Amino acid sequence: MEPALDLEKLSSTAGVKSYYIVKHDGSLVGAKAEAATEITQFLALSGLNGEAICSLLGHSRFNHMILSRQSKESILIFPVEGHFLAIMKEPGAATADLIPSIRELINGSKAKTMD
């Protein structure tokens, strides 16, 4: 089942260039970007590795991962209801401002599914 994210708000969030929602097997669930099979598999693998690293370090929860690119863009990966949400950040956007905005959208979607 697809996560109950407000994709309209996600698309209009300042600093979000594009996004992908992928299953753990790399299958694309939703996107506001040109979807390439290679990128969706990379995003799922990165998210799974983030979860594994947190587990190995004794952390109970994987919150997010930031991957920096040479183009000064970043990819932020968040776990969301059995999926991964990958945000391609605009080059000039402040990561410190974007993470709380995305976390708020994710937490809002969790609250809606619990109602």
Please report, for the domain that includes residue 102, its CATH number: 3.30.450.30
Position 53 scores a pLDDT of 93
Residue range of the domain that includes 53? 7-114
Position 11 scores a pLDDT of 85
pTM for this predicted structure = 0.85
The structure tokens 């299958």 sit at 27
Is residue 1, in this structure, part of any structural domain at all? no
Exposed / middle / buried, residue 51 (Cβ in 10 Å: 0-12, 13-18, 19+): middle
Average pLDDT, 10 consecutive residues per value, the chain (115 residues)? 71 91 92 79 94 91 88 88 92 90 83 49
Half-sphere exposure of 107 (CA within 13 A, CB side): 7
| Structural domain count, the chain | 1
Position 111 scores a pLDDT of 52
Is residue 2, in this structure, part of any structural domain at all? no
**pLDDT tens-digit readout, 54-66:** 999 998 888 999 9
DSSP string, 2-42: -----HHHHHHSTTEEEEEEEETTS-EEEEES---HHHHHH
Is residue 40, in this structure, part of any structural domain at all? yes
Is residue 67, in this structure, part of any structural domain at all? yes
